[in-house]
Amino acid sequence: MKHFTPSWAAFFVVMGAIQPSASYSDSSETPSSVEALEIAVDAYIYGYPLVTFDMVRQQQTNVVKADGEHAPMGQMNLMRSYPAVDNHCCAAPNADTLYTMAWLDVSTEPWVFSIPDMADRYYLMPFLDGWSEVFAVASQPLNGGAPQSYAITGPSWSGELPDGITQMKSPTNMVWVLGRIYSDGSQADYKEVHALQDEFKVIPLSAWGKNYTLPKAVVDASIDMKTSVRTQVNNLDIETYFNRLAALMVNNR
């Protein structure tokens, strides 16, 4: 960590979210510099997955249209070949699947993720929350190859879903569908998997059963699209880091 000094922003984050390892007799007392540093360290470590996850989201969605490596929020990102050796879309990319992904914001309404008829083709569709924890999975071994649709709902959502849609309740409003479909790597098999990928759909619940037009995406020129996420997070000064963490935790506790 660079330029690490105790920050009062740390107390705002940590006291409302986690139990710090440091303790003192009266919570109304101002902690000592040593206690403040211990709490700040706890908060930094606690928040690292969320800050990192969000920065991955930014890099992967900061485009006007899907290009095989990126896709705007709420759109399918379809990788058409095995990940290259230097591809860092994921922590440890598979070498025998084609990634089929989507980033979603379920803070205002659920999103419906639909899987086509996969027959006996192996697939794995984990749903990750903002802390990079898998909260639900759809897969060939669990669900078979029949078509299926899932409503990914936020932590505070309640309501009725259309028939035939299964709810997957996310503990955070930021969700990553990190899907994979098996391919043997041949051009003929790639073609078959591409056809399956094209049938995957993600739409807001309000558009279910209607014609849905993708909204126009806007690129944020201030986002660094080249430097690795890990490097960017590690280079954040402590005030920027904690301010970002506090903002993210409003919707992703």
In this predicted structure, the answer to whether residue 52 has a pLDDT above a threshold of 90 is: yes
Alpha carbons 252 and 104: distance in angstroms, whole number: 13
Alpha carbons 242 and 224: distance in angstroms, whole number: 19
What's the average model confidence in pLDDT over 32-51?
A: 92
The CA distances from residue 174 to 13, 141, 212, in Å, are 18, 26, 22
What's the average model confidence in pLDDT over 105-113?
A: 97
Enter the DSSP assignment of 151: E
Contacting residues for 27 by C-beta, under 8 A, at least 6 apart: none
In this predicted structure, the answer to whether residue 246 has a pLDDT above a threshold of 70 is: yes
In this predicted structure, the answer to whether residue 61 has a pLDDT above a threshold of 80 is: yes
In this predicted structure, the answer to whether residue 104 has a pLDDT above a threshold of 70 is: yes
The CA distances from residue 14 to 19, 40, 129, 246, 253, in Å, are 7, 8, 20, 9, 11
Q: What is the pLDDT of residue 207?
A: 97
Q: What is the pLDDT of residue 91?
A: 62
Predicted confidence band of residue 82 (pLDDT cuts 50, 70, 90):
confident
Alpha carbons 203 and 106: distance in angstroms, whole number: 11
Q: Show the domains of the chain with their CATH numbers.
A: 8-58+223-249 (no CATH), 65-207 (2.60.40.1610)
Predicted confidence band of residue 74 (pLDDT cuts 50, 70, 90):
very high
Per residue in 186-232, pLDDT tens? 999 999 999 999 999 999 999 999 999 999 999 999 999 999 999 99
Q: What is the pLDDT of residue 87?
A: 65
The CA distances from residue 27 to 14, 31, 32, 41, in Å, are 13, 8, 12, 18
Least confident range of 4-18, 106-120, 125-139, 202-216: 4-18
Alpha carbons 72 and 60: distance in angstroms, whole number: 8
- The answer for 170, left when phi > 0, alpha when psi is -120 to 50, beta otherwise, is beta
pTM of the model: 0.86
